[in-house]
Amino acid sequence: MKYGMNTLLFEARFTNDAVINFPKFKEIGFDGVEIALQEKGDIDTALVKDKLSENGLACGSLCALMGAGTDLRGPGKESIENGKQYIRDLIDTAVEIGAQVIVGPLYSAVGRAEMVEAAQRKTDWQLVKRGLKEVCAYAEDKGIYLALEPLNRFETDFINICADALRMIDEVGSSMLKVHLDTFHMNIEEKSSADAIRAAGDLLYLLHASENDRGAPGTGQVSWESIAEALRDVQYDRWVVIESFTPEVEIIARAASIWRQTEKDGWALAEKGLKYIKDLFGD
């Protein structure tokens, strides 16, 4: 098992300046970081890779920030093409920085949650499937995995549970398309987070660890013991990444509805959360 920290806890937009946090990540005990990248040109990949290596860290994953205008459902051809190009840019960046997998809601813009007619939902499904087939072909050439993250009902109406992601993976038919599960979203949507992990099995390529209130893992109501048991059952040994937020990064706090502080600050959250999941999940 390897443990990472999603950079959104500390900055809304990851740039070269963010490498200043790398020594602290290492000091706390993280194995690496998950970089949330808005645009390919936001970082000098050689510089960031060097700074990671200098601090004994890795970039295990890139986190896709699908926003308005980058959506495989549209509306319109431009939004779909922008979405595909953004994913291709992330794949190129992953190659350059040494990341293994790109994670997140690669199918649609975060926050797009609507009551959609059945006919339109079928059309949207086919659009996303077609788009994912294209980007997966690119990922196959580059050797980078893509992992679909189900989001809760308030952030998407499209893929909410693991079964949805597994259906899309089956229909796309690419060996590079995998599952990314998040304990916060599962706590809202799944009947059993542990059963969702078991259903994903060896298709699970990344786990986001976050409490039910988006705080430090181990401080709330998420059923961590059952999640740990399920991870052992599927012999999961890939990255576990803390993705939690505080009000300190205002743009992210607004987007994720973080209206109160759950810890002293982001560093306290990171340290407490990492200790808990390391003690529970082991190495």
- Give the active site residues: 149, 243
Cβ atoms of residues 146 and 106 within 8 Å? yes
Q: Residue 277: is it exposed, middle or buried by C-beta count within 10 angstroms (0-12/13-18/19+)?
A: buried
Name the packing angle between helices 77-97 and 118-142 (round to 10°): 30
Amino acid at 16: N
Query: What is the residue-wise DSSP string for the chain?
Result: -EEEEEGGGT-SS--GGGGGGHHHHHHHT-SEEEEEES-GGGS-HHHHHHHHHHTT-EEEEEEE---TT--TT-SSHHHHHHHHHHHHHHHHHHHHHT--EEEE-TTS-TTB-----HHHHHHHHHHHHHHHHHHHHHHHHHT-EEEE----TTTBSS--SHHHHHHHHHHH--TTEEEEEEHHHHHHH-S-HHHHHHHHGGGEEEEEE--TTSS-TTSSS--HHHHHHHHHHTT--SEEEE----TTSHHHHHHTT--S-SSSSHHHHHHHHHHHHHHHH--
- Dihedral sign (CA 187, 193, 197, 200): negative
